[in-house]
Amino acid sequence: MNRESRVEAFTGAYAALRAEIDKVIVGHDDIITGVLTAMLAGGHVLLEGAPGLGKTLLVKTLAESMDLTFSRIQFTPDLMPADIVGTNVMVQDNEGGRHFQFQTGPIFANILLADEINRATPKTQSPLLEGMQEKSVTVGGHSRPLPKPFFVLATQNPIEMEGTYPLPEAQLDRFLFKLKVRYPQMEELNAIIDRTTRTDVVTVQRVMDGAAVLDFQALIREVPVAAHVRDFASRLVMATHPQWEGAPDATKRFVRYGASPRAAQALVLGAKVRALVQGRYNVSTDDLRALAAPSLRHRILLNFAGESEGMDTDRVVAEIVASVVDASARAVEAAAV
């Protein structure tokens, strides 16, 4: 299959998957786009929002729309690592002999919903962290690969902090995107009421399988990125570091630590997906700008001044994007002179 046919197959499959999700989910267009973008880019997503906004329903609908295995873990303070990865259990064979057999945990699935991830202890979160990064987990000294594709969708409630364990920066950095699920608008709320209080049953069809996802992920990595677009992504990430000479005032005033190189990878991979969804085989700076907030917001650590003044990382990202865009425009003007 040539490149044009593969791109056409990608856009058709994406549209079909989006249509199935839209049968169930009302609104949240940006969230759905972000989740699908991360999945096709081969990354994980952290969904943050108050209870009842449809985070879990979105993940379940995505799983129902795809021919992939699905598991859900409800994170609680008493959850243990073995409850996630599994454990070796003693079994008896037909001859009466006994031996250890590995019983897989819920992490051995293509799509994993980690519900209320910040309610488990760091010890319990650690095997999930390993699986997200290495695509394998270690049990009893043996490394066991996870199925491909492997995609983690984690949820957390930003309001209720009692009995929670904030995710460490190293674990937050493993998420390709952090998406903020917001309250619906009036029209959307009316549609939710109509859709969920009637007897109509919505049937979701499976429109994509694991082989297609892996093929699309390979296609995405083949999309070329021009040098000036790559430099734009690098400048966005560097501008999150207060010690960088080109950092904007918001970064120097309110940021303690900036984003890691994974942020640049998230920007570029997400931009490649966005380009293909729009039928383009090239990445633009507009693609990077559109993905700056979900790629950077959870990778920026505010300092005391930022926290005391109530500065939000999204505001810092917005100023960073504006600063980099202005700098790029000035560079183009200087080159043209």
The two tokens of residue 27 are 């609104």
Residue 212: predicted pLDDT: 92
Task: Say whether both 212 and 278 belong to one domain.
Answer: no
Whether the predicted pLDDT of 163 surpasses 70: no
Whether the predicted pLDDT of 160 surpasses 70: no
Mean pLDDT of 108-115: 92
**0.75 surpassed by pTM:** yes
CATH code: domain of residue 305: 1.10.8.80
CB 247 within 8 A of CB 232: no
Q: Which domain holds residue 210?
A: 1-76+109-222
Task: Say whether both 228 and 205 belong to one domain.
Answer: no
Number of domains making up the chain: 2
Task: Say whether both 58 and 169 belong to one domain.
Answer: yes
Query: Would you place residue 336 in the very low, low, confident or very high pLDDT band (cuts 50, 70, 90)?
Result: low
Query: Would you place residue 187 in the very low, low, confident or very high pLDDT band (cuts 50, 70, 90)?
Result: confident
Task: Say whether both 192 and 233 belong to one domain.
Answer: no
| Domain boundary pick from 202, 222, 242 | 222
Is 186 a domain residue?
yes
Task: Say whether both 209 and 241 belong to one domain.
Answer: no
How much is the mean pLDDT over the chain?
A: 87
CATH code: domain of residue 214: 3.40.50.300
Q: For residue 168, is the peptide bond before it cis, meaning its omega torsion is within 30 degrees of 0? A: no
Task: Say whether both 195 and 239 belong to one domain.
Answer: no
Is 102 a domain residue?
no
| Domain boundary pick from 175, 196, 222 | 222
What digits encode the pLDDT tens for the residues 270-319? 999 999 999 899 999 999 999 999 999 999 999 999 889 888 999 999 99
Edge-to-edge strand list for the sheet holding 70-74: 70-74, 111-115, 151-156, 45-48, 177-180
What digits encode the pLDDT tens for the residues 221-264? 999 999 999 999 999 999 999 999 889 999 999 999 999 999 99
Whether the predicted pLDDT of 161 surpasses 70: no
Is 81 a domain residue?
no
| Residues in Cβ contact with 202 at an 8 Å cutoff, skipping those fewer than 6 apart | 23, 24, 195
Residue 151: predicted pLDDT: 93
Whether the predicted pLDDT of 140 surpasses 80: no
CB 32 within 8 A of CB 18: yes
The two tokens of residue 156 are 């957390």
| Domain boundary pick from 170, 192, 222 | 222
Task: Say whether both 2 and 124 belong to one domain.
Answer: yes
CA dihedral 279→282→286→289, nearest 10 degrees, is 110
Alpha helix stretches (DSSP H) within the chain: 3-22, 29-41, 55-64, 82-85, 122-134, 169-172, 186-196, 210-222, 227-238, 249-254, 261-277, 285-290, 292-296, 304-308, 313-336
What digits encode the pLDDT tens for the residues 48-64? 887 778 888 888 888 88
